Structure 1
Amino acid sequence: MLKHKIIIILSLVFVVFMTVLFILYLIKDDSSRWMVALGGILVSALPISLLFVKHNPFNIPIIIGFYVFVFCTTFLGSIANFYVDFKWWDSTLHFYKGIFIGFVGIALYKFFIPQGARKDISSWIIFLFVLSLSVTSTVLWEIYEFAGDLTFTQTMQRGGNKDTMYDMIFGLTGGLLISIYSSVQKNHDNLQR
C-alpha cells in the first residue's frame, strides 16, 4: 500500500536525519540542539504506529504535511534558528498548524462517522469540531512552549505574553479557515443529494 511505503520512507529518513543531528550536537555539547534532535527522533517515528492500525484515517497529504511540520519546527525552527532569525516564522507555523489540524479533524470526522449518518449531522457540528480541535492543539502547543522554557530552553516564548497571543491568534485563524471550508463543503454535499 502506498500510504505504508510513504510512512516507512519518511519516518526512516527523518529518524536517520535527526539521529545524525542528535549525535553531532551531543558531541559538540550543544544541549539545546541535541534535545530538540532527540525529540525530532521520537516525533518522526510516531507515524509508524499507523502501520499497526487496521484502517489508517489519514491520507497521503496529511502524512506528508505532518513531516513538513516536524521539519519546519524541529530542524528549521529550533536547530537552524529560524525562530530567532525570522520573527514571522513562529506565527506562520502556528497558522500552518491550525490548518493542518483542521484537516486532521476532517479526516477523523470522516473516519468515525459512517457515510450514511453524515447527512443528518449539522454543518455547525463539523465547524465546531474542526475549530475546537485546532484551538486545542494551539493551546497544547503553547503549554509545551511554556514548559520547555521553564525546563530546557528560554527561546520558545521570547516575546512572552505577546508571543503567546500572536501564536494563538494565528493558530485560531488557520483553524477557522478550515472550519469554514468544512462547513461549506458539508452544505455543498447536502445540496448535491
Structure 2
Amino acid sequence: MASLFVFYLIKGDSSRWQVAIGGIIVSALPLLLLIRKNNPFNLPIIFGFYLFIFCSIFLGSIASFYLHFKWWDSTVHFYKGIYVGIVGITLYKLWIPEQARNGTSRWILFLFVLSLAVLAGALWEIYEFVGDQTFTHTMQRGGNTDTMHDLLWGFVGGLIVAIYSFVRKQKV
C-alpha cells in the first residue's frame, strides 16, 4: 500500500492515493498486534484480515473491480461477514474462561457472533459513506440500494458462522 501511495501520488491520481493511505492505516492494525508480546490472534486470522484488505482496497477500489464486476462488492461483504464471525468465535474463546463457556447458552454465542458481524457491516458502511463525503466519491455508487445489499450479504456471512457456532457448541 505504501508503494501504491507513492506511485499514485506521483501520478497525480488523488482518488487512488487517498485509498492507498486508508490501506496503510488499516494494514497497520495487525502489525501493531504483532509488536505485542501476547498477540491474541493466530496467523490464519491475521492472514484473513490482509486478504480482506487486499480484496476490498487494492482489487476493489484501486484495481476497479467494484466497477468492472458487479458481484465483487457483494462477495467481499459476504466474506467480511464470515471473517468477522470467525473473529467473534476467537474473541469468545479468548475472553470467556473455559468454565464460564461451559455454562453459556448456545444462543448467547450465536447472538454474539451474529451481532459482531452485523456491527462490522454497519461500521464499514459508515466508513464508505464518510469516504464518499470527504475523499473518493466512488464507494457507494448504488446509494441506499448498495448499502442494503452490502448489509444483507454481511449478515448472511455472519449468519452462516453463527449457525456453525450454535451447532458446534455443546448444549447447556
State the alpha-carbon separation in 2 of the partners of residues 137 and 87 from structure 1: 22
TM-score (norm 1): 0.86
1:148 to 114, 124, 131: 131
2:82 aligned with 1:99: yes
**Cα separation, 2, equivalents of 1:39 and 1:159:** 21
Of 103, 111, 136, which residue of structure 2 is paired with 1:128? Answer: 111
What displacement does 1:54 show?
Answer: 4.6
User: Which is worse superposed, 102-111 or 150-159?
Assistant: 150-159
C-alpha separation between the residues in 1 aligned to 2:113 and 2:40?
Answer: 15
5 Å-filtered alignment, 1:52-131, equals 52-131=35-114
In the alignment, structure 1 residue 37 sits paired with structure 2 residue 25: no
**Percent identity (aligned):** 66
RMSD: 1.3
Aligned partner letter, 2:147: T
Counterpart selection for 1:171 from 120, 139, 154? 154
SS in 2 for 1:157: coil
Is the aligned partner of 1:48 residue 2:31?
Answer: yes
**Structure 1 residue 56: deviation in Å?**
2.3
Structure 1 runs (4+) deviating above 2 angstroms are 51-57
SS at match of 2:12: coil
Q: Calculate the TM-score normalised by the size of structure 2.
A: 0.96
Gaps of 5+ in 2: none
Size of the aligned set, in residue pairs, is: 172
Structure 1: runs of 5+ lacking an equivalent: 1-17
In the alignment, which of 131, 145, 152 is matched to residue 162 of structure 1? 145
